[in-house]
């Protein structure tokens, strides 16, 4: 199991990143319109069993949200997503982000993250992009948006030629299809809107989100 020292030490986290993903399997992606909503979203999924939480950089006050979540949820691993440039990457690292996601592949951002010993998962789509990111040093790549290219069938089709490259599908992953993505070969999956239903967010129904999280985790075969 993952120990507190592993979670708190970024160098160790980077060394064990694939193992952590293989164990935890699910990343909750939070895009918060205000910081109090973001806190509620994160605490709700943490209560449901998710330990990997990504705060997108187009959330309100993402630095403060990440900082507060690091303090409130010490048993979780808190990262930053939708990182587009070096300035955002540096700000994310400074506020305590333990991993980074980008919607695209930028070699300079990957190099910068590697230098800081922070796992960075670049967003890619085609086999060419996947291989380029992997050869540049990405230990894991995000396949985004997965829904537009066939979902689990696309992940499965990549396993023959590219099975050595760990993949995280996002953008269309749901409670109903998450397990099929993992069964097709994904190392982990990222969920956002299907986990955080807009109606539940508007009502601040955190118990409802915790219940959906528990439903999701019950379907995941670790």
- For the annotated catalytic residues, the residue numbers are 54, 142
CB 47 within 8 A of CB 210: yes
CA 14 → CA 72, 101, 170, 171, 204, distances in Å? Answer: 22, 13, 21, 24, 34
Label each residue of the chain as H, E or C.
Answer: CCCHHHHHCHHHHHHCHHHHHHHHCEEEEECCCCHHHHHHHHHHHHHHCCCEEEEECCCCCHHHHHHHHHHHCCCCEEEEECCCCHHHHHHHHHCCCCCEECCCCCHHHHHHHHHCCCCEECEECCHHHHHHHHHCCCCCEEECCHHHHCCHHHHHHHHHHHCCCCEEECCCCCCCCHHHHHHCCCCCEEECCCCCCHHHHHHCCHHHHHHHHHHHHHHCCC
Contact by Cβ (8 Å): 42, 53: yes
């Amino acid at each position: 199991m993952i120990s507190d020292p592993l979670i708190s030490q970024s160098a160790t986290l980077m060394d064990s990143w694939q193992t952590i993903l293989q164990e935890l399997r699910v990343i909750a992606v939070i895009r918060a319109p205000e910081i109090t909503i973001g806190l509620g979203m994160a605490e709700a999924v943490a209560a449901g069993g998710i330990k990997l939480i990504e705060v997108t950089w187009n959330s309100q006050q993402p630095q403060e949200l990440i900082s507060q979540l690091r303090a409130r949820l010490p048993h979780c691993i808190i990262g930053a997503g939708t990182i587009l440039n070096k300035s955002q990457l540096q700000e994310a690292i400074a506020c305590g982000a333990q991993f980074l996601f980008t919607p695209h592949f930028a070699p300079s951002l990957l190099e910068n993250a590697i230098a800081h010993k922070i796992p960075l998962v670049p967003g890619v789509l085609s086999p060419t992009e996947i291989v380029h990111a992997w050869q540049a040093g990405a230990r894991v790549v995000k396949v985004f948006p997965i829904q537009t290219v066939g979902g689990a069938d696309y992940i499965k089709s990549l396993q023959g030629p590219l099975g050595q490259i760990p993949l995280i599908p996002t953008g269309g992953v749901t409670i109903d299809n998450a397990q099929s993505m993992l069964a097709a070969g994904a190392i982990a999956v990222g969920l956002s809107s299907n986990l955080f239903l807009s109606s539940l967010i508007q009502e601040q129904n955190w118990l409802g989100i915790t219940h959906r999280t528990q439903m999701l985790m019950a379907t995941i075969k670790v």
